[in-house]
A and B are shown apart, each in its own frame.
Chain A
Amino acid sequence: MKIFRKVNFKNVLVNNLWLKLMALATAIIVWMYVSGEITKGVRI
């Protein structure tokens, strides 16, 4: 029986994968939207 949990990078990535992907998608969308708005403001 394993006593200590090894830090497994595969597990770190796979744990809550959907949540991570959703967060990444949201982050990219928000960044692109805000960046677009800022650029629009600068052009005006």
Chain B
Amino acid sequence: MNISIPAFDWNFWKMIVEVLILWMVFYRVFLFLKGTKAVYLLRGIIILIIAFFFFQKMGFYVLSWLLTKFFAFFLILVVIIFQPEFREGLIRLGRRHFFSIEPRKEEIEKTLREIVSAVGTLSRKKIGALIAIKREIGLKSYIESGVVVNAELSAELLQNIFYPSAPLHDGGVVVDGTHIVAVACLFPLSENRALERTVGMRHRAGVGMSENSDAVVIVVSEETGAVSLAINGQLTRHLTPNDLFTILKGQLGQPK
């Protein structure tokens, strides 16, 4: 490797551009994998790679040969096991515009208005609801625990989902951008002892979800109809629809 650093050395700038592109690609891949079961697989691969280099350096040629053979088999296995993730990733890549990745500001605002409208109605009718709005961290493991719907979000659809006799009303809804991705999802319960005793399971699940991801979680109490918002493990209770909209807009209103 011949690396010289003068300002106008084309090779040096080519190297920087290549590393930056690789960095962006790896970061996107890691972000995509975060919050999925594939993280464990990634850890396994990293351990195997470290072991491979260690064996090579120490001259354990039989072990490194075995690992090389295992890698080839392992790659095929990975493609088979994670075929749905690969498919989703490629579809997402194809769907996105290269520079405007996220929905436009107006679309986000419209979605937030729909959510606030639905939450207002559910609160008045004292119908319990649990809505997690995805931000950067993937929520695939939670999505997989529910029923995938991938439907465009509307206030009516949200109300319908949480209607007490509806088959999918139990559990949480995951919203990504302008879409309801999944319903009846299982969210992790918070073990925070500082939470009030009056806080029920739905609120604990909302707080738990916000502790385990960067999602913004809206909770509507079945008993009181009170609207709460959980962000980063902090629960803000008794919000009016206006407060809710303002906070949501502040948190999510700007495209990333």
Give A contacts to B, CB under 8 Å. 1-5, 7, 15-16, 19-20, 22-24, 26-28, 30-32, 35-36, 39
Instruction: Return the contact of A16 from the options B22, B29, B136 (Cβ within 8 A).
Output: B136
Q: Chain B residues near A31 (CB, 8 Å)?
A: 15, 18-19, 22
Q: How far is the CB of A20 from chain B (nearest CB, A)?
A: 6
Kindly list the 5 A-B residue pairs having the minimum CB-CB distance in the complex, ordered from nearest.
A27-B22, A23-B27, A23-B26, A27-B23, A5-B254
Does B247 have its Cβ within 8 Å of any Cβ on chain A?
yes
Main secondary structure of the interface of A (DSSP, over half): helix
- Give the number of A-B contacts (CB < 8 Å): 56
Choice from B19, B22, B30, B249 contacting A3 with Cβ under 8 Å? B249
Q: How far is the CB of A19 from chain B (nearest CB, A)?
A: 5
Q: Is B253 an interface residue (CB 8 A)?
A: yes
**Can you give 21 A-B contacts (C-beta < 8 A)?**
A2-B250, A3-B253, A4-B253, A5-B251, A5-B254, A16-B136, A19-B30, A22-B26, A22-B30, A23-B29, A24-B23, A24-B26, A26-B26, A27-B19, A27-B23, A27-B26, A28-B19, A31-B15, A31-B22, A32-B1, A39-B1
Chain A nearest CB, measured from B198 CB (Å): 26
Report the interface size for chain B: residues with CB under 8 A from the other chain. 23
Interface residues of B in 233-251 (CB under 8 A from A): 243, 246-247, 249-251
Interchain nearest-CB distance for A43 vs B (Å): 12
Residue numbers in A under 8 Å from B31 (CB-CB): 16, 19
Question: In the complex the two chains form, is A19's CB within 8 Å of B34's CB?
Answer: yes
Interface residues of B in 174-196 (CB under 8 A from A): none
With a CB–CB cut-off of 8 A, which chain B residues contact A1?
243, 246-247, 250
Interface of B is mostly: helix
Which residues of B are at the interface with A, using a C-beta cutoff of 8 A?
1, 15, 18-20, 22-23, 25-27, 29-31, 34, 136, 243, 246-247, 249-251, 253-254
- Whole-angstrom distance from the CB of B214 to the nearest CB of chain A? 9
| Cα of A39 to Cα of B29 in the assembled complex, Å | 27
A39 to B1 CA separation, bound complex (whole angstroms):
7
Q: How far is the CA of A26 from the CA of B26 in the complex (A)?
A: 7
Q: Which residue of A lies closest to B18 (CB)?
A: A31
Inter-chain CA distance A15–B34, complex, in Å, is 14
B106 to chain A, nearest CB (A): 14
A4→B27 CA distance, assembly (Å): 26
From the candidates A3, A7, A15, name the one contacting B250 in the complex (CB within 8 A): A3
Inter-chain CA distance A1–B34, complex, in Å, is 31
Q: How far is the CB of A35 from chain B (nearest CB, A)?
A: 6
Give the CA-CA distance A28 to B45 in the complex, in Å: 17
